[in-house]
Amino acid sequence: MTGKLSVDECRNAAHKRPPAEQGANDHQYGNDRHMSEHAHAPDVRGGGSVPDGGSAMRVCLFALGTRGDAEPAFALAYALQRRGHQVAVGVAEDLVALGRNVGVDARPLRVNAREFLYSTEGRRLLAAGKDWQFLARMAGRSREIADTLHADMIDIATGADMIMCSMLLEDEAVSLAEWLRVPFIGLSYFPFRRTTVLPSPYAPQHRLPRSLNWLTHVIFEQARWRSLGSQSNLLRRKIGLAPVSQPAGKRLARMGALEIQAYSRFVLPELSGWSSRLPLVGYLRLAQEQRDMLADQKLDGGLATWLDAGEVPVFFGLGSAPVLDVPGTVRMIRDTCAALGVRALVSAGWNTMESTADDQMYFVDDVNHDEVLRHCRVAVHHGGAGTTAASLRAGTPTVVCAVTWDMPFWGATVARLGVGNTFPFADLSAARLTAAIAPLLSDEARRRSARLGARLRTEDGPGEAAKLIDQGF
């Protein structure tokens, strides 16, 4: 399927036999034409058996977003493949190669994560802390690409026995599951379902009465639906379904649907007994075999030599943070480290950086957080769910310079656990960095972080999630 999918084409497709009623050979889900010649995914066609005695399934998993959204999905997909299932993962087109390189059948959603999320205008809004203006711009962009995105989702989902999805596309994915008459399972990287014990991740992170915590979830759930719900109903019209007036979360709750919570009970103990349908399985980390497939999983020679040549550094991960003045930010980091008497390892991430390394500062592009952060005294980053999980798992004290989305929530969480500090990215300065990092250089902060990291490393999030999926079906 190429180009835009017309309304007539979608309606015609809706009258075909759903794949749930097809024979195993009617539609070869995960056709080899989707795989790169270097992909390592096992050849699993469905119809076999799984360890818990069920049948092998063809699973469609959508994980639109940045690498922090896609990589956990690749970890889960691989765990499901090892249990005999066949999995296709729909991700932003610039992340397809990563998925295929770690043994997963990654399929393109024709969206470039960097272009979509971080245009020049978007970066300016985020750098200034103007979250709502950024979300409005993103909603507008979603409407512009809706036809192409819906076409890709239908193409990837066709033939699936089950659909899974992370937050960004869950309303559309639930509608596709309804159309295809197959089960749906949610996947959450942070707690955005209603609860009385914590406020919504999108709300200011203050201690509130239980009733107000609940209210923050209701308010932001409704705001999100008003902004993006029309896209879900547009898809529903295309595939011949009646429009809905409530977000997917409310409908899933009524159905008692399973929603995997891909974070740790050790990090959010308040939610450890949340609900049997909202199980906390731990973070979804790539399997060792997958990590071995990636070129960035080992330290390059220059970095290894620099690390061995001096004191343990502080890590500054710019990642997808909207850095508008790169030279000024480098000077800020240098001034901070001079004030604290520490060295700096700086990862540019999505930012273009032309700086010369010396004894006190070393510059890299993207890095393997699991490998690098265990060599660092403190990790400073934007607070994305995946990066936060990596720094906590490494046992490294963490400073979150929170940008938007769930980042302020994770910043507040590391502070509440006593393993880090946080402040808004819009307030970034040498003084704020120095004040946030200084107390985390203590032996006590390191011991506290190390204890938490040791607990997190005992969890097998992908394996636990895959087991729950099999038990449920």
Number of domains in the chain: 2
Is the CA virtual torsion 278, 248, 388, 469 positive or negative? positive
pLDDT at 296: 64
- Helices and strands: H and E segment counts in the chain: 19, 12
The Cα–Cα gap between 84 and 53 comes to 11
Same domain, 219 and 329: no
pLDDT at 353: 65
The Cα–Cα gap between 161 and 56 comes to 9
The Cα–Cα gap between 261 and 283 comes to 9
The Cα–Cα gap between 229 and 250 comes to 13
For residue 20, being part of any structural domain is answered with yes
For residue 423, being part of any structural domain is answered with yes
Same domain, 165 and 41: yes
Same domain, 163 and 31: yes
Report the b/e string of 275-289 with b at 16+ CB within 10 A. Answer: eebbbbbbbbbbbee
Token reading at 160? 């699936």
For residue 184, being part of any structural domain is answered with yes
Question: Beta-strand (E) ranges in 104-227?
Answer: 105-109, 162-165, 184-188
pLDDT in tens, 214-259: 999 999 999 999 988 999 999 999 999 999 999 999 999 999 999 9
pLDDT at 22: 42
Q: What are phi and psi of 469, to 5 degrees?
A: -65, -45
* Type of residue at 278: L
Same domain, 257 and 342: no
pLDDT at 367: 81
For residue 150, being part of any structural domain is answered with yes
Same domain, 190 and 156: yes
For residue 130, being part of any structural domain is answered with no
For residue 466, being part of any structural domain is answered with yes
The Cα–Cα gap between 464 and 334 comes to 43
CA nearest 97: which of 164, 39, 42, 151?
39
pLDDT at 366: 76
Helix (H) or strand (E) holding 92, with range, is strand 86-92
Task: Confirm whether pTM is higher than 0.75.
Answer: yes
pLDDT in tens, 53-98: 678 999 999 999 888 899 999 999 999 999 999 999 999 999 999 9
For residue 139, being part of any structural domain is answered with no
For residue 210, being part of any structural domain is answered with yes
pLDDT at 468: 96
Same domain, 273 and 323: no
Same domain, 336 and 250: no
Same domain, 217 and 334: no
Domain that holds residue 77: 7-110+145-290+459-472
Same domain, 65 and 185: yes
Same domain, 375 and 247: no
pLDDT at 15: 41
Same domain, 283 and 306: no
CATH of residue 223: 3.40.50.2000
pLDDT at 11: 42
CA nearest 401: which of 433, 417, 421, 425?
425
Same domain, 341 and 411: yes
The list of the chain residues with pLDDT below 50 reads 1-5, 7-8, 11, 13-28, 30-47
Contact 156, 62 (CB under 8 A): yes
* Type of residue at 21: E
